């Protein structure tokens, strides 16, 4: 997997934000929507901050952007402090001119028996929109992309996923302890992600170094779902020097 290493997350995020902005403008020029797959978590925050800056200072418009987020905790109310719906509004959508109906985050409020049908529709909506032009990803310390935990298959689609203990432990800081941390999430599947025309994965910090090395240099394996990106013709890892420290 091609890997670009930057001195720090800020410089890396600027490069990624510029790629996204160029794509949005290119699609605007063609009179087409730009279909983005978006991630939450700490890694993309600096990318979203740069996109907001470009909107404010350089007139970058999001009017033609249609977005689909990777995942949402389940169950989860949209106005909860920890919801990914809220995260996206606070980190990006409320600060740019994306039309209100154009962004999608998996619905954490559904009754459990409605989730499978919702998941199927979510994948179908992406397909009907023309497929993802660009998918932004973070990576879990265990190799998860979206919430496709180790064991997820390469042909998996959007579905309800049991979260790994390590994922819940990392999230528990935000939820006020492990007992209050959700056990499940709705996530786009590996196949849903791999169908994107372009994929950029972000990783910052030493904590991500081992999983980055095995995703880039190891075998393609379900024990590190990020390794599936080796099979994609147009994926790029954008990482800082600390996250690159275990690469040979």
From the list 106, 138, 143, 225, which residue makes contact with ligand F6R (rule: CB under 6 A)? Answer: 138
Residue 61 corresponds to which tokens in the numbers above? Answer: 């418009």
- Check residue 152 for interaction with ligand F6R (CB under 6 A): no
**Does residue 149 have an active-site annotation?**
yes
Q: At which residue do the structure tokens 């109310």 appear?
A: 77
Find the part of the chain contacting ligand F6R (CB under 6 A) among 38-46, 127-135, 173-181, 230-238.
Answer: 38-46
Q: At which residue do the structure tokens 């689609």 appear?
A: 157
CA distance 175 to 248: 37
**Cβ 45 to ligand F6R shortest distance, Å:** 8
Largest CA distance in the chain: 50
The footprint of ligand F6R on residues 217-246 (CB under 6 A) is: none
Which residues fall within 8 angstroms of residue 94, CB to CB, at 6 or more apart? Answer: none
Give the CA dihedral 101, 146, 85, 167, nearest 10 degrees.
Answer: 170
**Cβ 170 to ligand F6R shortest distance, Å:** 7
- Using DSSP, state whether 138 is helix, strand or coil: coil
**Cβ 107 to ligand F6R shortest distance, Å:** 15
Which residue, 64 or 152, has its beta carbon nearer to ligand F6R?
152
**Cβ 238 to ligand F6R shortest distance, Å:** 13
Contacts with ligand F6R by CB under 6 A lie at: 39-43, 70-71, 138-140, 144-147
């Amino acid at each position: 997997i091609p890997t670009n290493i930057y001195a720090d997350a800020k410089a890396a995020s600027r490069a990624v934000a510029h790629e996204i902005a160029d794509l949005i403008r290119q699609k605007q020029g063609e009179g087409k929507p730009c279909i983005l797959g978006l991630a939450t978590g700490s890694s993309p925050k600096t990318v979203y901050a740069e996109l907001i800056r470009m909107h404010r200072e350089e007139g970058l418009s999001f009017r033609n952007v249609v977005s689909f987020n990777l995942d949402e905790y389940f169950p989860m109310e949209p106005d909860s402090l920890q919801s990914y719906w809220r995260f996206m509004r606070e980190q990006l959508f409320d600060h740019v001119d994306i039309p209100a109906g154009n962004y999608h985050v998996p619905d954490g409020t559904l009754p459990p028996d409605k989730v499978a049908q919702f998941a199927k529709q979510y994948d179908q909506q992406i397909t009907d929109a023309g497929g993802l032009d660009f998918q932004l990803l973070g990576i879990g310390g265990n190799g998860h992309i979206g919430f496709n935990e180790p064991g997820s298959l390469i042909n998996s689609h959007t579905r309800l996923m049991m979260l790994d203990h390590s994922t819940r432990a990392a999230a528990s800081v935000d939820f006020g302890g492990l007992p209050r941390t959700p056990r499940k999430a709705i996530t786009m599947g590996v196949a849903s992600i791999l169908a994107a025309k372009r994929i950029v994965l972000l990783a910052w910090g030493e904590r991500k170094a081992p999983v980055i090395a095995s995703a880039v240099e190891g075998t393609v394996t379900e024990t590190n779902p990020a390794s599936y990106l080796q099979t994609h013709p147009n994926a790029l890892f954008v990482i800082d020097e600390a996250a690159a420290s275990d690469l040979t």
